[in-house]
């Protein structure tokens, strides 16, 4: 039977039934494909006063890998997937595509980073002109992925390239672009002779308070566009918040820093990316390359010398004394025996761009965020208490960021009853509605999402 003749249309079960935001956004997308069949669309929801039945215990959804609660990060990830589908594969490429680099092979990185060296790098900085990918058992790792000539560099080669910071008229800040696997290095987990999917980030090794002499210690700054997804704003940053490759860099510098700077102790680590500038590129890879250019061009703003200014610029000090509980939701889920189907988040449309980049939107998926917080304290339970956010609350945030649907009437039941002339037991209802419906005088079908 044709779909438009069905009395009920059911949402794909990859969306959790308790995720009203995803259900509403799925309905928004579905309705766009049915504008030739229906002329009126409604979402019947709750308003801010509907708290009496808004809380209950729910089964904790198990999310698919790379699921995020941030609509901007999801958009960047989707851009990478789309770009990979549009560009022919290259022999030395992992499938990553870049508007800046093209096929994103090792030579492409080297050529582009070399252009940064001449155009943006100041005298107190040194940029390593190769992309760094291989860490634990680095040469074995490179060989495993078929990079036998190290077009992507090892941590050891990156470290060996720099001069001591104390050298007269030398630089005090050493910057590199890292492009590493997101998980721990396990040869059995990756196919041989094929470059893996990787995550970009920026590493900066420098002198602590480089504007003050004598120089006494060094520090490592790691800028990661996905840091806000791993560390909530109200939680401290621990070494467990770092990716395995980032922790490997910390360990490598800690163990070997005396080779270059014997008079300076390796003192501390910072994680950045929590308050980034507006980045125009679409993929995570290109956004990180864009941030590198911004960082090199305006180091005073984004790599301030005084340590007390770093937190103001979006850097948070990493507690290296204790491992924090795993903050990545997929990693937390791995500790729970659960064979339920994987779920996804259906995000709101692209916004008006005024809210900023990754980590700045107020339209994050509430259920995903609450599950992430719950898993940080309890890794074994399969159910958790959940308070459903009022429909008009989260949809108003979407409207503020230009992520709403002009053709849909989103309203509370009181508003919907008043709009359609349906009497209520308590008399004329109070109207609490937000309406975004195109005017039409023609007869129209009325439909709401079912699940």
In 10 A of CB 366, how many CB atoms? 18
- What is the chain's Cα-based Rg? 25
> In 3-state terms, the chain is what percent helix, strand and coil (to 5)?
30, 20, 50
Q: What is the DSSP letter of 450?
A: B
pLDDT by residue (tens digit) across 242-254?
999 999 999 999 9
For the entire predicted model, the pTM comes to 0.60
pLDDT in tens, 398-444: 999 889 888 888 988 788 888 888 887 655 444 444 433 333 333 33
Q: Does 237 map to a domain? A: yes
105 part of a folded domain: yes
Q: Is residue 338 part of a domain?
A: no
- Same domain for 105 and 237, yes or no, is yes
Contact 43, 27 (CB under 8 A): yes
Residue 339 lies in a domain: no
Closest CA to 61 of 13, 25, 21: 13
If asked whether residues 133 and 207 sit together in one domain, one would say: yes
**Burial letters 41-58, b for 16+ CB under 10 A, else e:** bbbebbbeebeeeeeeeb
Please indicate, yes or no, whether residues 282 and 140 belong to a single structural domain of this protein: yes
Phi and psi at 292, nearest 5°, equal -60, -45
Among 290, 332, 321, 287, residue whose Cα is nearest residue 62: 332
Residues 384 and 58: beta-carbon distance below 8 Å: yes
Distance CA 257, CA 159 (A): 9
Q: Provide the pLDDT for residue 85.
A: 44
List of residues 6+ apart from 213 with CB closer than 8 A? none
Residue 100: alpha-carbon gap to chain centroid: 20
Please identify, among 327, 359, 381, the residue that sits at the C-terminal boundary of a domain. Answer: 327
**Cα 409 to the chain's mean position, in Å?**
31
HSE value, Cβ hemisphere, 13 Å, CA-based, for 256: 15
Q: Are strands 315-319 and 446-447 parallel, antiparallel or unpaired?
A: unpaired
Percent of the chain with pLDDT over 90: 38
Q: 293-322 burial, b if ≥16 CB within 10 A, otherwise e?
A: ebbbeebeebbbbebeebeebbbbebbbee
Q: Which of 327, 355, 371 finishes a domain?
A: 327
- Answer yes or no: do 233 and 248 share one domain: yes
What residues contact 99, with CB distance under 8 A and at least 6 apart?
83, 281, 282, 283, 286
Alpha-carbon span 201 to 248, nearest angstrom: 14
| pLDDT at residue 441, rounded to an integer | 30
In a domain, 137, yes or no: yes
Helix (H, G, I), strand (E, B) or coil at 199: strand
pLDDT of residue 447: 42
3-state secondary structure of 37: coil
**β 62-63/125-134 pair status:** unpaired
Task: Let me know whether 306 and 186 are in one domain.
Answer: yes
Q: What's the domain count of the chain?
A: 2
Asked which of 296, 327, 358 is the last residue of a domain, the reply is 327
**Same domain as 414, residue 266:** no
pLDDT score recorded for residue 232: 73
> Looking at the structure, do residues 140 and 246 belong to the same domain, yes or no?
yes
Does 299 lie in the same domain as 234?
A: yes
On whether both 394 and 373 belong to a single domain, the answer is yes
pLDDT in tens, the chain (451 residues): 455 566 788 888 899 999 999 999 999 988 888 888 888 898 888 877 655 567 889 999 999 877 888 888 887 777 655 544 444 333 344 445 688 888 778 888 988 898 876 666 777 889 999 999 999 878 899 999 999 888 999 999 999 999 999 776 689 999 999 999 998 999 988 999 988 889 999 999 999 999 888 889 999 999 999 998 888 776 788 888 899 999 999 999 999 999 999 999 999 999 999 988 988 888 899 999 999 999 999 999 999 999 999 999 999 999 987 555 444 555 555 555 567 788 999 998 888 776 666 767 888 899 998 998 888 778 788 999 999 989 989 999 999 988 988 888 898 878 888 888 888 765 544 444 443 333 333 333 344 443 3
Pair (85, 64) in one structural domain = no
Report the C-alpha gap between 279 and 290 in whole angstroms: 7
- In this prediction, residue 67 carries a pLDDT of 85
Q: Do 128 and 98 have their domain in common? A: yes
Domain range holding 284?
A: 71-327
315 CB contacts (<8 Å, ≥6 apart)?
221, 270, 271, 272, 274
165 and 146 in one domain? yes
CB-based burial label for 351 (10 Å; 0-12, 13-18, 19+): buried
Residue 342 falls inside a structural domain: no
């Amino acid at each position: 039977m044709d779909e438009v003749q069905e009395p009920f249309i059911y949402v794909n079960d990859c969306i959790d039934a308790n995720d009203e935001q995803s259900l509403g956004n799925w309905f928004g997308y579905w309705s766009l494909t049915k504008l030739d069949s229906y002329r009126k669309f409604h979402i019947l929801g709750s308003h801010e006063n509907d708290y009496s039945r808004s809380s209950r215990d729910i089964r904790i959804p198990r999310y698919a890998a790379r699921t995020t609660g941030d609509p901007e990060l999801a958009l960047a990830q989707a851009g990478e997937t789309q770009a990979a589908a549009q560009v022919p594969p290259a022999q030395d490429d992992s499938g990553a595509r870049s508007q800046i680099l093209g096929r994103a092979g090792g030579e492409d990185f080297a050529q582009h980073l070399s252009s940064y060296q001449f155009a943006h790098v100041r005298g107190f900085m040194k940029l390593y002109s190769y992309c760094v990918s291989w860490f634990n058992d680095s040469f074995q790792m490179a060989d495993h992925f078929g990079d036998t000539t190290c077009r992507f560099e090892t941590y050891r080669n990156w470290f060996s390239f720099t001069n001591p910071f104390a050298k007269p008229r030398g630089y005090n800040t050493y910057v590199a672009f890292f492009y590493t696997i997101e998980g721990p290095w396990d040869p059995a987990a990756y196919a041989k002779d094929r470059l893996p999917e990787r995550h970009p980030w920026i590493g900066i090794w420098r002198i602590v308070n480089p504007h003050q002499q004598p120089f006494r210690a060094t520090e490592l700054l790691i800028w990661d566009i996905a840091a806000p997804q791993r560390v909530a704003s109200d939680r401290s940053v621990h070494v467990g918040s770092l990716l395995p490759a980032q922790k490997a860099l910390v360990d490598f510098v800690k163990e070997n820093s005396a080779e270059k700077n014997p008079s300076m102790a390796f003192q501390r680590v910072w994680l950045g990316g929590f308050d980034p500038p507006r980045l125009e590129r679409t993929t995570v890879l290109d956004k990180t390359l864009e941030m590198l250019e911004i960082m090199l061009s305006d180091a005073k703003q984004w790599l301030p010398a005084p340590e007390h200014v770093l937190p103001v610029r979006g850097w948070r000090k990493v507690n290296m004394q204790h491992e924090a509980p795993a903050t990545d939701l997929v990693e937390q889920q791995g500790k729970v025996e659960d064979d339920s189907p994987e779920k996804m988040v259906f995000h709101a449309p692209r916004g008006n761009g005024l809210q900023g980049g990754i980590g700045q939107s107020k339209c994050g998926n509430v259920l995903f965020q609450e599950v992430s917080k719950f898993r940080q304290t309890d890794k074994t339970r399969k159910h958790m208490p959940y308070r459903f956010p009022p429909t008009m609350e989260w949809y108003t945030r979407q409207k503020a960021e230009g992520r709403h649907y002009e053709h849909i009437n989103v309203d509370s039941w009181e508003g919907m009853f008043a709009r359609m002339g349906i009497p209520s037991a308590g008399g004329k209802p109070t109207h609490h509605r937000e309406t975004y419906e195109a005017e039409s005088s023609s007869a129209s079908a009325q439909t709401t999402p079912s699940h």
